[in-house]
Amino acid sequence: MTTMESLTEQREDLRRPCFFMAVDYVTDNHVFTESIQDISTNGLFIETRKPLPVGTNINMVFTDYDKLRVIKISGNVIRATSDGIAVKFIFDNQRQETVIQSFVRSI
């Protein structure tokens, strides 16, 4: 196994697939509603046909499947493909990070 394969396997182990989980996000006075493909404690991948440029900051809101927890968090687009955007979370405080960790473990 190459180093790259090893890193890819480690990274994918941390991701949790999200089926039919909507996310609302805002940037530059534009509002979007799309689907989350997968999520980890560091970020998520949003499926979209209109990817934002790398470096774009966004504000996101999403809920768990039971709609009991509302998550509000900022992020930065770190990768854009024809399938969507990879977003790294920007934690404002330790509480936000703890909430995301708990959320990801619950999926």
Spell out the domains of the chain, with CATH numbers in brackets: 3-106 (2.40.10.220)
pLDDT over 90 at 93, yes or no = yes
The pair of structure tokens assigned to 19 is 């089926």
Residue 27: partners with Cβ closer than 8 Å, 6 or more residues away: 52, 56, 57, 58, 59
Rounded to two decimals, the pTM is 0.84
**pLDDT > 90: what percent of the chain?**
69
Q: Which residue in the block uniquely carries the two structure tokens 């770190």?
A: 78
Q: Do residues 24 and 65 make contact, with C-beta atoms less than 8 angstroms apart? A: no
DSSP letter for 64, please: -
With cut-offs at 50, 70 and 90, classify the pLDDT of residue 43: very high
Q: Name beta bridge partners: 36.
A: 21, 46
pLDDT attached to residue 59: 98
Q: Do residues 31 and 46 make contact, with C-beta atoms less than 8 angstroms apart? A: no
Q: Name beta bridge partners: 58.
A: 75
Pairing of strands 16-27, 30-39: antiparallel
pLDDT over 80 at 3, yes or no = no
